[in-house]
Structure 1
């Protein structure tokens, strides 16, 4: 398994998303933004690159989507934004978050949005991004959704937001060293 960060631009393409892309230097800059707009944001936080796709409809429920395992091919590049066709456009706000650990290498298929001791995704980065979006769009409800490793992330993050709902399918809830090594064929 490749544990060093690869050159991210080689693994990244926004062609298939066809929406505005806004580079953000830091998480703090993202949090200071007034009036978020629909589109893709690239947020750099603690050495991680977190790509998000927001489709905003003010004052309606916000569904936060997490992706499952992602095998890359020439046709399937990062970032991956799950859930864009789950609800009809205009009926809810949607926030799709690409798992930043997938940029570590082509053989990294999933990492449960867990981060590491150096990249505090669970304790800091992702909760701050979600909180900013909820506050900015005045979401009437917060719903988390995902399947497989994204299901694990949905379960995990939903418990940290008061009155949040979680809709998941086949959540992979067992993260063990043995399983990770088997996945990586080590």
Structure 2
């Protein structure tokens, strides 16, 4: 069965028959490594569900420095939520860190599916709750805790990112320098093994 079927059934219940209708609203797409799903200045017209690969969402400041806002891997939804909901140009770029396979759903199809499929509506409500919780937690950790505590939280809650993204990407996501992250990693490794 399709990975999205298993994903949806983690949060709600959908029959195989209903899933056939559900999946018909999505369009499969392959995105090469370093290819954009969304470029800064574009309006986000789709939500993507990753079935293979990884992506990153980032903001580029006036000095040309990239600041990682989100990281994504298989079974994660990808979108600039503000641009998608408001129809405004995005301040972010989203690109493929690895070769990706995604399922895209347009805003129009999202609205249709939400009105026609209770499971999809329930899924989106649950995902909104989880996203709000994760965002609040990330803000709290960013403004209240040391770099070491932020990194420990990151590896405890997102261990699968550590092998998928290099240190400089993780450091940017955590809002610290690569050197600081390297120092923290070495300290943690020493504490755990000595």
TM-score normalised per structure 1 = 0.26
Larger-Rg structure: 2
Higher helix content, 1 or 2: 2
